[in-house]
Amino acid sequence: MRKATFLALALTLVAGAAFAANELIVTEIMYNSIEATDVEWIELYNNSSATLDLTGWYVLDDDLGHTPAALSGTMAPGEVKVVVGTMATFTAKYPAVTNYFPATFQPGFSFNNSGDQINIFDAAAQPVYALIFDDTAPWPTGADGSGPSLLLLSNNCANFNDAACWTVGITDGTPGVLTQTVGNEDLSWGLVKGLYR
């Protein structure tokens, strides 16, 4: 469940922002992993046709007063990269994953296990992405602490806040590896997505 204030805040962000055509989007979320202490991360995807300079960009949850998770470097078109919660536990669980942003503060971010927000801001502190997700139906409840991630079905989703855009990923997820087919929703994700509606 989520608080009404979460929604109000996100709506304010959305209303005040002219998003740059969803250039940078979230493709997978591990907000409540199976461990007693969550090993959390989100996967970002450069949905644009240009290399993005993420210097000064950052990620926040519903509390804009929290210390943000800083992004850095660049992302090429189609590249994916992981924002990790706590570096030590992430690298221990996923030793093969190397395409993550170096964390600037530890312990890092964590998302509420009862639903939360993911807000991404650019170097000018302008919101470029805002998502409210939940752990109750119609959101996929299989991503809520039993192992699997929360997985985006389509990069062409018209509204990422629509639960129908998301499904249950595999156990432990696939951080840093894009498993979705992108580029033509009509011929790929659109068909899969229809099954979940």
Q: Which residues bind Ca ion (CB under 5 A)?
A: 28, 31-32, 38, 43, 110-111, 113-114, 135, 144, 174, 177
Nearer of residues 43 and 122 to Ca ion, judged by Cβ: 43
CB of 128 to Ca ion, least distance (A): 20
Nearer of residues 15 and 36 to Ca ion, judged by Cβ: 36
Nearer of residues 31 and 129 to Ca ion, judged by Cβ: 31
CA 16 to chain centre: 20
Output the six-digit token pair for 191: 């068909």
CA 89 to chain centre: 19
* CB neighbourhood size of 95 (10 A): 8
CB of 14 to Ca ion, least distance (A): 23
**Nearest CA among 89, 123, 94 for reference residue 108:** 89
Nearer of residues 34 and 123 to Ca ion, judged by Cβ: 34
Q: How many helices (H) and strands (E) does the chain have?
A: 3, 11
CB of 110 to Ca ion, least distance (A): 5
